Amino acid sequence: MLLLEVVLLIPIGALLVDLIFGELPNKLHPVVWMGKVIGFLDDHVQRKSQRHDRICGVFVSLIPILLFTLAFILILGAIRIYGGDYGLIVWEVLSALLFSTLFAIKSLGTHTLPIMNDLKNNDIEAARKKASMVVSRNVNELDEAHIISCASETVAENLVDSVISPMFYFGIAGIPGATILRVVNTEDGMIGYLNEKHKNVGMFAAKLDDALHYITARLSVPFIMLASALLGYDWRNAWKIAKRDHKQTSSPNKGWPMSAVAGALRIKMEKEGYYSLGDGELQNDPEIIAKTVKLMKVTSILFFIIVLIPLYLIIGTTVQILLENAFFGLL
């Protein structure tokens, strides 16, 4: 059994790396590699019938999951088992670095706070351009209030997709658990759409993503409420709006964190023609983006301390080591 301090170094080290340094360069980032593999497979599917495309979509989803999960188990297991005197140390460091790439706290602010700065400088065209990099909707005609809304929506939605869910599955199964979640989430972001090209090929990925985020989306709400209480935001309204408005989004999951954040900040989030979360009118205050980022960060830290750490100590580290040992036992 690994020492407690050895086990804790991995998630704590990963958190510090993310908060201090943020994302790795694209060439070195595992999630970028995942995207390249998914894109390659998707490009090589010959669209035929609905049944054919859906079957192909299962393979497009499962191949990257198996490829990256087994690769990480192989690399980490080999280092720990055959690395000699320094094997455990290298295993810890590499596990921490790898986990830091499988969730994203700092980058959510890195990608949205510049939008706030552009709006403060009255440069709405620059704000629209940056907003187009974080949302899939057409931003060319968005006014200031809707740009603020879409930036805040992105942070709130990705609180679950990019932070809470990877942490939760890391707590359950270590690096393999977080890897599976991140691959599926990347697949959903690339092929999980209802457009003509992906409505069948991407169906399996979209449904799998919904299933994996089902618990964590709902689990995010009490942590958003707790963070809101600590920051002096309206935690009671967070629950009220989450309970009332979460069903407005097409996704069964993303409405929970988005509506909870809207309630906590007493703002309205709106994608015209699709949903309107919260009360009142859309706000023209760019500082709302900074408040959303702050709420996201505090919620993330609370989830890390209250859920990830105990879960990883009880389950995650054991599952990861068992998987590594089992893999090499089969060789």
Of all residues in the chain, the percent with pLDDT exceeding 90 is: 91
pLDDT of residue 138: 86
Q: What are phi and psi of 275, to 5 degrees?
A: -160, 160
User: Between 60 and 141, whose confidence is greater?
Assistant: 60
Residue 1 has pLDDT above 60, yes or no: no
pLDDT of residue 3: 62
Q: How many beta carbons lie within 10 A of that of residue 231, not counting itself?
A: 16
Q: What are phi and psi of 269, to 5 degrees?
A: -115, 130
The answer to whether the beta carbons of residues 99 and 10 sit under 8 Å apart is yes
Using pLDDT thresholds of 50, 70 and 90, give the confidence band for residue 6.
confident
**Residue 70 in 3-state DSSP?**
helix
Amino acid in position 130: K
The number of folded domains in the chain is 1
Reference 265, options 148, 114, 165; nearest CA is 148
Q: What is the model's pTM?
A: 0.95
Residues 195, 81: Cα–Cα separation, whole Å = 46
Question: Over the chain, what is the mean pLDDT?
Answer: 95
Residues 168, 182: Cα–Cα separation, whole Å = 12
Tens of pLDDT, residue by residue over 78-93, are 999 999 889 999 999 9
Residues 6 or more apart whose CB falls under 8 angstroms from that of 316 comprise: 170, 171, 172, 173, 174, 177
pLDDT of residue 2: 64
The answer to whether the beta carbons of residues 260 and 241 sit under 8 Å apart is yes
How large is the greatest C-alpha to C-alpha distance in the chain, in angstroms? 62
Domain that holds residue 234: 4-330
Tens of pLDDT, residue by residue over 161-210, are 999 999 999 999 999 999 999 999 999 999 998 888 999 999 999 999 99
